[in-house]
Amino acid sequence: ESNLEVRVREESVKSSKARIGSVASTFIPEVSLYAQGEDSELKKVHESPTAGVFANLNLFNGFRDVEKNKINNLNYETNKLEFKKSYNEDVFRAKKYYLEALRILEEIKILTEHEKINKNNRELIQKKVSSGLSLKSEEFIFKKIELSFLP
């Protein structure tokens, strides 16, 4: 929900949903009122006031409003699908990164344990070499093996 792209898609869905019924407003009659009158002592004009009402009604416009409503419905469905796609892609990426982080943590744990074992082995070999129980070459072989594990 905090992802900007997901929020933009969500607002786009809301916007397109709001447009679905907007075409129906073209069938609502338009009513206008007017009033006019003048009474001036300076001009010596005395007109009787007039008032009126204008009404317009959209009876037929060549089915443009029907087609526009179909387009609005299609836009709404498209935006809904794009939102779901975007949301699912973000969820997939989040899960992927989470699993990758778990794998890395497990790898660190294994490497840390491996390092402890190597340290113990290194100390053991150094003690054997310093006490004369092993040859110095055994220590070099161990160092060579250790270096082969480095990236």
In angstroms, the CA 148 to CA 151 distance is 8
Full-model pTM: 0.51
Q: According to the 3-state scheme, what is the secondary structure of the chain?
A: CCCHHHHHHHHHHHHHHHHHHHHHHHHCCEEEEEEEEEEECCCCEEEEEEEEEEEECCCCCCCHHHHHHHHHHHHHHHHHHHHHHHHHHHHHHHHHHHHHHHHHHHHHHHHHHHHHHHHHHHHHHHHHHHHCCCCHHHHHHHHHHHHHCCC
38 Cβ contact partners less than 8 Å away, ≥ 6 residues apart: 45, 46, 47
Write the pLDDT tens digit of every residue in 66-88. Answer: 788 888 889 999 989 988 998 89
- For residue 34, what are its two tokens? 């007017």
Distance from CA of residue 80 to its chain's centroid? 13
Write the pLDDT tens digit of every residue in 28-66. Answer: 667 777 776 665 566 555 566 777 777 766 666 667 777
| Res 1 pLDDT > 60 | no
Write the pLDDT tens digit of every residue in 85-120. Answer: 988 998 999 999 999 999 999 999 998 998 898 888
